[in-house]
Chain A
């Protein structure tokens, strides 16, 4: 079945550091890929999505590029802030399944001032 792999469970950075959170997927065809962010006590909220090879999604300084060749959708931000501390989830939806998502295990980002 379809799956999403996130290798970093916890990421600890200082303000203005560069962020990379890795996301690889296993799925047939062209799934839609998503990044969600979850702040403490809240539900996950959409950061952005991408549906086609080489498409870049971006929001709030975060970005990721859909790469079908390497089956990846890595999240990056050039300069993190303390307010970016949250859990980040990579997810996919397969064509024909509407908005039914398969999630990775999530990466908890902690940014220190």
Chain B
């Protein structure tokens, strides 16, 4: 069964600390995405990847890095977490072709205190 698994599901971090959010997909999809969800903003794209070793900036990349070490795994890294990065983060995977709908994970709720 197609799946996107995020870990951790909940995280509390301190300001200035490093945070790594992990995502694993078993769909053999080329593309993976990180979004954040905030009330009044919907879902906004942070970083994405076309395959292992590739990362691209999305619409709001500042303060975030991404890493795609393998087809299955895509991480989002906050080197110096700030309270403004408190949000719910969603990972998604999708095929590389046009018109394809990405499949989302269940989200990670991050609080930066």
A95 touches B40 (CB 8 A): no
Interface residues on B, range: 20 to 34
Question: Complex: how many Å from CA A99 to CA B102?
Answer: 6
| Contact digits for A91-107, partner B, Cβ 8 Å, 1 yes 0 no | 10101111111111110
Question: Complex: how many Å from CA A105 to CA B95?
Answer: 24
Which A15-72 residues sit within 8 Å CB-CB of chain B? 32, 34, 41-46, 49, 51
B104 touches A106 (CB 8 A): no
B98 touches A98 (CB 8 A): yes
A49 touches B101 (CB 8 A): yes
Chain A interface main SS type? loop
The A-B contact count (CB < 8 A) is 73
Given A43-B90, A46-B101, A93-B98, answer yes or no on A99-B42 (Cβ-Cβ < 8 Å). no
A99 touches B40 (CB 8 A): no
A44 touches B31 (CB 8 A): no
Q: Tell me if B83 is interfacial: C-beta within 8 Å of chain A.
A: no
Chain B residues closer than 8 Å to A44, beta-carbon distance: 43, 90, 104
Quick one: closest B residue to A4, CB to CB? Answer: B42
Which A67-113 residues sit within 8 Å CB-CB of chain B? 89, 91, 93, 95-106
Given A51-B99, A105-B41, answer yes or no on A98-B106 (Cβ-Cβ < 8 Å). no
